């Protein structure tokens, strides 16, 4: 007899999990580990699930899906918690943190990872062979969530979005089936997950390409905040001239360890240091004296570039005088952290069959760490989405229509909805 008509309690769900063959750890309210495991990196998300279920295998994932369906409770998936935006109140919080296997095939230049793997483990494993994944700014970010949301890293201008490098995924669907999605198998599902996030199933394994990058010339340098407008005006012109190997961002922030406002210029060049210095000279010559920081040649896996917390993200087709005036016009006491990052390159020119990563043609992203009045386009990016209700703004209209078609095919009841939700 189905218990969907009943109001389930934690003991019911535990019994359901065990009956479905769940072999992982189950954490209940009142236990110290429950409070540890339910936490997200995002401080505004305070999940109160009926149970936290820590999966150790793909069969545990299937058991959690079957149980959630049987008892009519919501289910949310969390590895590191960096991408968590919707609480799993009254449901199952499925943790994949313990599923961390990373395998690298250096001959094929491919990595295969379990859903709890973090970028640091992939960087270390691939780096032994002079290879690099299309990782983000932090080693401790989870691979799967980052990639399914598009994944824009510091090699993206050269090699594209992380989602575009995915070649295969193993997925538990909304009805508890286990399927493999690739260009040959379930191609519609394969297309949708590469940018459509976790709306279509729970990924239990992800396979993606690696690239021949051993060393980069990279770092962050700081200049006086009084040069901000001049730097941004030069940046606007200069970014139209540089090769795809060079990725940069301009950040209005503070010198680390101080309250001094500054302009930080982030740089990563996948090439020779001498050529990097030559390419950067036109930008640096308007910046004035350097306050702190350095650029140096180092292993790609050691290049910790940091990231700006995204309370608000927008895309810019051009860096207008109005935007420059708006972001540089704050008094020091009230000034937000603002990052303007150069996009383009391979991100704007994917190969055939690329997934629904949104707004590929944008020239810049604008990230602000709090809500302020800035001229905006209303477009956003899933990985930086502060408000999950704005998920539709992350996609081009044609892609959004197709995503909804795939959603209707694989999850017509919107079982997977505790996310940046795409409604069927």
Residue 117: CATH number of its domain: 3.30.465.10
Most confident of 40-44, 333-337, 349-353, 410-414: 410-414
Residue 410 has pLDDT above 80, yes or no: yes
Same domain assignment for residues 155 and 191: yes
User: Which pLDDT score is estimated for 375?
Assistant: 63
Phi, psi for 95 (deg, rounded to 5): -100, 130
Distance between CA 20 and CA 27 in Å, rounded?
A: 17
Distance between CA 326 and CA 18 in Å, rounded?
A: 56
What's the rounded mean pLDDT across residues 47-69? 96
182, 212, 242 - which closes a domain:
212
Lowest-pLDDT range of 224-228, 323-327, 374-378: 374-378
Q: In angstroms, what is the C-alpha Rg of the chain?
A: 22
192, 212, 232 - which closes a domain:
212
What's the rounded mean pLDDT across residues 228-235? 98
Residue 354 has pLDDT above 60, yes or no: yes
User: Which pLDDT score is estimated for 6?
Assistant: 53
User: Which pLDDT score is estimated for 45?
Assistant: 80
Same domain assignment for residues 238 and 311: yes
Distance between CA 196 and CA 147 in Å, rounded?
A: 10
User: Which pLDDT score is estimated for 200?
Assistant: 97
Residue 422: inside a domain, yes or no? no
What's the rounded mean pLDDT across residues 326-346? 91
Give the angle 259-265-269 at the CA atoms, nearest 5°. Answer: 145
Same domain assignment for residues 257 and 378: yes
What's the rounded mean pLDDT across residues 141-145? 94
Non-local CB neighbours of 402 within 8 Å, separated by 6+ positions: 191, 192, 356
Instruction: Tell which residue, 245, 221, 241, has the closest CA to residue 132.
Output: 245
Same domain assignment for residues 58 and 155: no
Residue 406: inside a domain, yes or no? no
Share of the chain above pLDDT 90, in %: 79
User: Which pLDDT score is estimated for 373?
Assistant: 66
What's the rounded mean pLDDT across residues 210-236? 97
Tokens of 56: 């150790």
> Predicted confidence band at 8 (pLDDT cuts at 50, 70, 90)?
confident
Lowest-pLDDT range of 37-46, 102-111, 348-357: 37-46
More confident residue, 406 or 381: 406
Same domain assignment for residues 208 and 277: no
Same domain assignment for residues 239 and 330: yes
Residue 144 has pLDDT above 90, yes or no: yes
Same domain assignment for residues 245 and 371: yes
Same domain assignment for residues 293 and 174: no
Is the backbone of residue 218 left (phi > 0), alpha (psi -120 to 50) or beta? beta
> Predicted confidence band at 306 (pLDDT cuts at 50, 70, 90)?
confident
What's the rounded mean pLDDT across residues 126-139? 95
Residue 44 has pLDDT above 80, yes or no: no
| CATH number of the structural domain spanning residue 236 | 3.40.462.20
Provide the residue range defining the domain that includes 77: 10-95
Residue 276: inside a domain, yes or no? yes
Same domain assignment for residues 127 and 263: no
What's the rounded mean pLDDT across residues 123-136? 96
User: Which pLDDT score is estimated for 389?
Assistant: 82
Same domain assignment for residues 226 and 373: yes
Residue 375: inside a domain, yes or no? yes
> Predicted confidence band at 123 (pLDDT cuts at 50, 70, 90)?
very high
Lowest-pLDDT range of 140-149, 322-331, 380-389: 380-389
pTM here?
0.93
Q: Are 92 and 74 in contact (CB under 8 A)?
A: yes
| CB contact burial 58-91 (16+ within 10 A = b; e otherwise) | bbbbbbbbbbbbbbebbbbbbbbbbbbbbbbeeb
User: Which pLDDT score is estimated for 162?
Assistant: 97
What's the rounded mean pLDDT across residues 397-405? 96
User: Which pLDDT score is estimated for 84?
Assistant: 75
Residue 308 has pLDDT above 90, yes or no: no
| CATH number of the structural domain spanning residue 33 | 3.30.43.10
Is the backbone of residue 306 left (phi > 0), alpha (psi -120 to 50) or beta? left
186, 212, 238 - which closes a domain:
212
Distance between CA 407 and CA 411 in Å, rounded?
A: 5
| Structural domains of the chain, count | 3
User: Which pLDDT score is estimated for 86?
Assistant: 84
Residue 409: inside a domain, yes or no? no
Same domain assignment for residues 107 and 68: no
Residue 140 has pLDDT above 50, yes or no: yes
User: pLDDT per residue over 241-263, tens digit each?
Assistant: 999 999 999 999 999 999 999 99
What's the rounded mean pLDDT across residues 362-387? 81
Residue 252: inside a domain, yes or no? yes
Residue 3 has pLDDT above 60, yes or no: no
> Predicted confidence band at 376 (pLDDT cuts at 50, 70, 90)?
low
**Chain Cα centroid distance, residue 42:** 13
Same domain assignment for residues 170 and 89: no
User: Which pLDDT score is estimated for 22?
Assistant: 97
Residue 412: inside a domain, yes or no? no
Is the backbone of residue 378 left (phi > 0), alpha (psi -120 to 50) or beta? left
What's the rounded mean pLDDT across residues 49-74? 96
Give the angle 17-19-25 at the CA atoms, nearest 5°. Answer: 40
**Chain Cα centroid distance, residue 80:** 11
Residue 407: inside a domain, yes or no? no
User: Which pLDDT score is estimated for 7?
Assistant: 61
Reported as type and span, the H/E element at residue 49 is none
State the average pLDDT for the chain: 92
> Predicted confidence band at 332 (pLDDT cuts at 50, 70, 90)?
confident
Reported as type and span, the H/E element at residue 222 is strand 215-224
């Amino acid at each position: 007899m189905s218990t969907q008509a009943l109001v389930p309690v934690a003991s019911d769900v535990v019994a359901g999990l065990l009956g479905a063959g769940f072999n992982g750890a189950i954490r209940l309210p009142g236990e110290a580990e429950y409070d540890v495991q339910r936490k997200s990196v995002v401080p505004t998300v305070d999940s109160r699930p009926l149970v936290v279920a820590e999966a150790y295998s793909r069969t545990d994932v299937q058991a959690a899906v079957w149980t959630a369906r049987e008892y009519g409770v919501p289910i949310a998936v969390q590895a590191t918690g960096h991408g968590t935006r919707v609480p799993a109140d009254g449901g199952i919080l499925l943790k994949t943190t313990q599923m961390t296997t990373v395998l690298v095939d250096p001959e094929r230049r491919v990595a295969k990872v379990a859903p709890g793997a973090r970028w640091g483990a992939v960087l270390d494993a691939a780096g032994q062979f002079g290879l690099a994944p299309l990782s983000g700014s932090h080693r401790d970010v989870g691979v799967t969530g980052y990639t399914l949301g598009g994944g824009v890293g510091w090699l993206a201008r050269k090699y594209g979005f992380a989602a575009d490098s995915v070649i295969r995924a193993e997925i538990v669907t909304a009805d508890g089936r286990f399927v493999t999605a690739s260009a040959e198998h379930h191609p519609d599902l394969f297309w949708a997950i590469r940018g459509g996030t976790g709306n279509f199933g729970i990924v239990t394994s992800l396979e993606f390409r690696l690239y021949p990058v051993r060393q980069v010339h990279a770092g962050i340098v700081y200049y006086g905040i009084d040069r901000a407008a001049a730097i941004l005006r030069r940046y606007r012109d200069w970014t139209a001239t540089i090769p795809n190997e060079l990725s940069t961002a301009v950040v209005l922030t503070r010198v680390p360890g101080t309250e001094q406002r500054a302009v930080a210029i982030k740089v990563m060049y996948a090439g020779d240091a001498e050529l990097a210095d030559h390419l950067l000279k036109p930008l640096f010559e308007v910046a004035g004296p350097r306050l702190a920081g350095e650029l140096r040649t180092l292993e790609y896996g050691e290049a910790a570039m940091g990231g700006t917390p995204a309370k608000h993200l927008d895309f810019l087709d051009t860096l207008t005088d109005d935007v420059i005036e708006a972001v540089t016009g704050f008094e020091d006491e009230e000034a937000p952290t603002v990052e303007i990052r150069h996009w383009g390159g391979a991100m704007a020119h994917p190969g055939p069959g690329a997934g629904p990563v949104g707004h590929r043609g944008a020239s810049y992203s604008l990230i602000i760490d709090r809500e302020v009045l800035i001229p905006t386009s209303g477009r956003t990016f899933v990985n930086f989405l502060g408000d999950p209700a704005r998920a539709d703004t992350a996609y081009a209209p044609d892609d959004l229509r197709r995503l909804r078609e795939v959603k209707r095919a694989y999850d017509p009841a919107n079982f997977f909805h505790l996310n940046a939700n795409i409604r069927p």
